[in-house]
Amino acid sequence: MIKFGHIEYLFLLGLIPVLVLFIFLFNRWRKETLFKFTTKNLEDKLYVRKSDIREKWKYTLQILAVLFLILGLTNPQIGTNLKEVKRDGIEMVIALDLSNSMLCEDDIGLSRLRRSKQAISELIDNLKGDRIGLVVFAGEAYTQLPITSDYSVAKMFLNTVNTETIETQGTNLSAAIHQSVKSFDLDNEFNKSIIIITDGEDHEEGALQEAKLAAEKGIFIYTLSVGDANGGPIPLTKSKGYKKDRAGNIIVTKPNFSFLDTLSIYGNGRHINANDSEFGLQQLFKEISEIEKKEISTMKFTDYSDRFQSFLFVSLFLFLLELSILNIKNNPIKKWIKR
């Protein structure tokens, strides 16, 4: 079993395509600049010993060296022993609203989405023995992270979501609940809960019915409403200004507290107004702690050994190998014949 000591460095893998693009653009610029002062025939005579194959190999080695360097920074660790780990906890799925209305900053200085992600991150930091999954929704709902006990992975997946994650806009709470229920293994005996974080502007029907069906399966539904009661405008994502209706008026989005309260009642849970200094977390922690925790038994690898040294060694070797390769052709047989 492999895990990463610093999994956040995996984001640096995004530099690889950037590096490839830079090399491509640099070579094209260099060639265009060279042709300003010479011709193709003259270039062939001046660079008769130039090896295009070696040059490509050098670039390939550079990219591979950076790749192994990044992997080394993540500190891959390999578990050597598999043990059964038992702990008390519950299973929960957090359903996070990614509709455009979550970009609204109300009068709290941060967008509803950013505050929600901060709250979820703090919630994860306070979990002990519980298992967590992540569902994201707007006009549709998707499982972003299956239920897991790896909190570092949960936070990594959380950091990647934004309002552009889902193309279909809206606030389909019915789909969110349905997808969250599908994330659970209903055959086990662990208590389960769904935490819906949204401004409650439901644009679809059926949410109350889905909440009732979930409650019948023993799943508790908690709703965490975000946003100020007075509402606020929705910033445009690709330009300055705010969203407007067809008449040219700025759209004001307001949380639907009453609907979320009703939804939580149907789901045998509680509605928490998160628009306070602590984002309603203390109350949420209290509600979750009151759910009966049952023993969760999982097989888990232990005695992890660091393996970053191997990746850094390979990276260093590739860098040195790249430096040792010249961009020119080298034919010792021809040199010997000339002698």
**All domains of the chain in start order, with CATH:** 2-75+307-338 (no CATH), 94-297 (3.40.50.410)
Residues 173 and 72 sit within 8 Å (Cβ to Cβ): no
Look at residue 338 in the predicted model and tell me its pLDDT.
46
d(CA 276, CA 157): 26
The residues with which 197 forms a beta bridge, in sequence order, are 96, 224
Most confident of the ranges 210-214, 279-283, 326-330: 210-214
SS3 content of the chain, % helix, strand, coil (to 5): 45, 25, 35
Q: Which secondary structure element, helix H or strand E, spans residue 319, and what is its range?
A: helix 308-324
The pLDDT of residue 330 is above 70: no
- The conformation of residue 276, written as its DSSP 8-state character, comes to S
Instruction: Give residue 314's Cα distance to chain centre.
Output: 28
Residue 153 burial by Cβ neighbours in a 10 Å radius (0-12, 13-18, 19+) = middle
Look at residue 66 in the predicted model and tell me its pLDDT.
92
Confidence of residue 231 (pLDDT cuts 50, 70, 90): confident
Other CB atoms within a 10 A radius of the CB of residue 145 amount to: 22
More confident residue, 339 or 119: 119
More confident residue, 122 or 49: 122
DSSP annotation string for 103-119 = G--TTTSS-HHHHHHHH
Look at residue 219 in the predicted model and tell me its pLDDT.
92
d(CA 78, CA 84): 17
pLDDT digits over 113-137, tens only?
A: 888 888 888 888 888 878 899 999 9
Average pLDDT value for the chain: 80
